Structure 1
């Protein structure tokens, strides 16, 4: 009986001792040092991440114990158990005489209604052997939430397939080469060095001039062959070019060009003692062997004057053959005439296009390139849609793509989900006909409009791997930056926006990205670019107010908020509860009253 009483007594002592130990741990917990970063908590992407650093005072971890710090986010009548940090006495052997430190990163998914809220911690002291524990009262460690990142604007940039038509002035060349007798600059009608007589060539040129094509330049390059009887006359190349110019001008007079002739620029290019054309002709010539050609090139590329080299060439066994086969082709006046390509005026293209759409004009009145181009001549999305819809009858993938892109632009303005579905149908047809980065870009735009971030990302990656043009790549960068911003990848977003196509949404998101990465000056400057935007002006001023708060500029906080709420009264309540302005209550109150 005495033994039983002794055992009970010892158990009571142990219980009392452990209770004292736990009580002491909880008491010492009042001296723990907890740091939360960021504080207040901030939304980043779809998560609320933060780091907690805890420092326990000495003697708080007796042997055989563990201290746990639980984190709880409480909002309204709900709470989320976020995570915990465990301090085991065995892991801190010097805890009796020194502090015990530990850091952990935490994150919890954001849901509507979580703002405002409070992050609490509670400590749990535990005897590891028995599991007996004691819990401290909850302690507030951070407020939440700053939701500045939620201002991100989805970027939707569509891409049109190239219509392939150039309505600007284009020049097309017409080439006629005249050849001359050795040592002469007179046009011999009977000479036919290249198989066509100069007589036929002058007739062809005369007929061309008679057409009165709009001509910009006539470039005539006069040349000579290397032998002495040609090189002795240094003016021979120039005279040959001049002979063709004279003929051309006589024909203009014949066909009554009058003032039109003064608008044509004649460019004469006499080539004197130059081996370039001869070396090109020799390289293509198959009348002698490679080794024999080397004998020629060794002399030409060697030392000596032009005349000295030609004299050395005359000693070669192949000289006469080359002289008869190549030299005549070097006695020329090569003529290039640049004339303006005849095109329909844009106004006529627009009229014909309307007729094709209505069915009153035949489809072949315009080329497909001209018809697709006609859609760029109207600002009306409805008219563009009608043109591209008509063009799809041809089966051209570009028409299907551009129709899809136009429907997406209409969906951006109206929010009509059916338009997005109709656009995707057209884009799928285009994709089946032609694999193209342009089509994939529009698929990404459609996914962005549907809020399908994963689908948009996949489409962007697909387009990026399909060799997009610089213009299309800039669109992809804009949408990719938008996705990265909304996912909380701010540095990546900033890099993408640096090479993105300009748009109001891109400019706004660039400014927001700078704000979220701490570049407050750049944020202010960038957001100035959209303060006149009908859609984004209010939000831009609001973000400028946040940037001003980060820069501790109360006056700018007030002035920017005043602009913001004057454009969107719903921002008043947000400003009053925004933790970004916690230190600027007076400025906020003045701005929103």
Structure 2
């Protein structure tokens, strides 16, 4: 028997079925909006127009009509003659009538190659006869089931900075009251020696690059403001001269030229330093002293008050004011981190020397998943409380199809720090475990993590039958799944462009999808050529194609039969 073509010869399939009990019921026409019927969102919907012709149903008869897809029944529709009693839809004897019928059943694999048939019975009084079982369509197109598990998990980012600005401090040049000359004893202090040693080491260290030597000079606040400002200027100058002298090369050393690095930064009276030192001291009434000084905005008046206090409180002159007469030396430098090559080497020979940021950054330098896994395991071992190591280890395990291990890693990451990235990871696991509702809720809570989450929602849209939204959510991604969504959304040109731009372009399933696009456009050459390429890479697809209702209208085509045999 010749198979009916998918999507009809010129439009909608119309079948005329002669029922038994012809004295009670005549010929009824059944029109399907789609043949074969299609699976969308885990279900199969049929839309049937039932046309009862003039004088087609006995006035006192009623009929129960039940569409069956394989062994699964859709709801029963009851029609009755104009003089029959009951709750069915009344059909006028003249001129007949039309009934629009729609119903949905859950999809199961046995429906893929099932026939859509009409069954039922016709009754009048105590008389009852079975309707002749007749096929009215084919089932079932299941192309949405081609959706792939290419959900996207997201790597947590590192905060690695190769070059950081740092400061070498702790060096001070101290002065006597109202003086700006540097005493020779100052240059023998330990902090000055440390400064010299640090500068010598820095000059030969390629990882240290001094940018400035800031000389921050102060005067204690008990003198006149004008004199103190000048005094701070003079102290900055004398400190510069002293440091140049300190850094003068000794025998066997290379002379350093630091003149261009030195920046004199005189600050005048150090009121802030005075208050800080006073608060840190054990001087009685120190709070009162600070409040008295804060009462006077006039610097001259404050100087008078501090002089009075110096006379009254000898400890101010002894312990508080002298350390304020100084120049602070601060070397600003760039600390240059390890190069990429050095990081890779250390990750193998001495990973314990690397920080969490360096471990995460170094992992990103590798393309090989095993190298990434090695480094993420190190991150988990050394920094078990940092969620990023666990998440990124899960990322690798997921991409290596180690789903149980990935689940454990993602759950651990989320327990340490629940955030959009970890929620997306858990959503991916939930969807692939079949819990679509949970996955969707997790993805909706994770959209701030990035476009990957929207893509994952697009996969759920395909499974739910919302193809337009799937295409939108998948954005600019050129993937098999997006091309599939475009096919299901009837945008065949875009689908072909997408699959050809995807990594699946030359894969068995990529070719198979292109064959479906050809079938939907009635392009026999496109069907045969792409199926040939698909079977060359995966011969198991032959049996699928031979029974795939996407190709039903080509079943008896010699070229199709030849390629699938």
The verdict on a shared fold, with TM-score over 0.5 as the criterion, is: yes
Q: 2:497 aligns with which of 517, 525, 547?
A: 525
Deviation for aligned residue 1:498: 1.9
Q: Helix, strand or coil: the match of 1:83?
A: coil
Q: Report the counterpart of residue 48 of structure 1 in structure 2.
A: 44
Check 1:341–1:582 CA distance in 2 against 1; reply closer, same or farther (3 A cut).
Answer: same
Contact 1:125 1:134 in 2 (8 A): yes
Q: Report the counterpart of residue 291 of structure 1 in structure 2.
A: none
Q: 1:462 aligns with which of 442, 447, 471?
A: 442
Q: Helix, strand or coil: the match of 1:514?
A: helix
More helix by share: 1
Check 1:525–1:380 CA distance in 2 against 1; reply closer, same or farther (3 A cut).
Answer: closer
Contact 2:507 2:537 in 1 (8 A): yes
Contact 1:555 1:587 in 2 (8 A): no
Deviation for aligned residue 1:546: 1.2
Measured in 1, the distance between the counterparts of 2:545 and 2:240 equals 79
Q: Report the counterpart of residue 288 of structure 2 in structure 1.
A: none
Q: Report the counterpart of residue 409 of structure 1 in structure 2.
A: 399
Q: Helix, strand or coil: the match of 2:515?
A: helix
Q: Helix, strand or coil: the match of 1:518?
A: coil
Q: Report the counterpart of residue 351 of structure 1 in structure 2.
A: 348
Measured in 2, the distance between the counterparts of 1:44 and 1:208 equals 73
Q: Does 1:39 align with 2:31?
A: no
Q: Helix, strand or coil: the match of 2:539?
A: coil
Q: Helix, strand or coil: the match of 1:100?
A: strand
Q: Report the counterpart of residue 143 of structure 2 in structure 1.
A: 148
Check 1:247–1:442 CA distance in 2 against 1; reply closer, same or farther (3 A cut).
Answer: farther
Deviation for aligned residue 1:51: 1.9
Q: Helix, strand or coil: the match of 1:27?
A: coil
Measured in 2, the distance between the counterparts of 1:58 and 1:336 equals 103
Measured in 2, the distance between the counterparts of 1:441 and 1:589 equals 43
The normalised TM-score by structure 1 is 0.60
Check 1:407–1:453 CA distance in 2 against 1; reply closer, same or farther (3 A cut).
Answer: same
Q: Report the counterpart of residue 484 of structure 1 in structure 2.
A: 461
Deviation for aligned residue 1:351: 3.0
Deviation for aligned residue 1:542: 1.2
- Unpaired runs of 5+ residues, structure 2, are 1-19, 171-179, 184-190, 215-225, 227-237, 264-329
Contact 1:460 1:476 in 2 (8 A): no
Deviation for aligned residue 1:393: 4.5
**How big is the alpha-carbon RMSD for the aligned residues of Structure 1 and Structure 2?**
6.2
Q: Report the counterpart of residue 175 of structure 2 in structure 1.
A: none
Q: Report the counterpart of residue 370 of structure 1 in structure 2.
A: 358
Measured in 2, the distance between the counterparts of 1:259 and 1:369 equals 37
Check 1:39–1:173 CA distance in 2 against 1; reply closer, same or farther (3 A cut).
Answer: farther
- Unpaired runs of 5+ residues, structure 1, are 1-20, 177-185, 190-200, 221-228, 230-242, 269-334, 357-363, 413-418
Measured in 2, the distance between the counterparts of 1:254 and 1:54 equals 106
Q: Helix, strand or coil: the match of 2:139?
A: strand
Contact 2:162 2:338 in 1 (8 A): no
Q: Report the counterpart of residue 160 of structure 2 in structure 1.
A: 166
Deviation for aligned residue 1:27: 1.4
Measured in 1, the distance between the counterparts of 2:534 and 2:181 equals 81
Q: Report the counterpart of residue 308 of structure 1 in structure 2.
A: none
Q: Does 1:512 align with 2:493?
A: no
Measured in 2, the distance between the counterparts of 1:571 and 1:187 equals 92
Contact 1:35 1:54 in 2 (8 A): no
Q: Helix, strand or coil: the match of 2:62?
A: strand
Measured in 1, the distance between the counterparts of 2:181 and 2:559 equals 91
Q: Does 1:436 align with 2:436?
A: no
Q: Could you list the per-position Cα deviations for residues 153-193 of structure 1 after superposition, in whole angstroms to 9, with x for gaps in the alignment?
A: 1124444444x4526444457899xxxxxxxxx9999xxxx
Deviation for aligned residue 1:40: 0.9
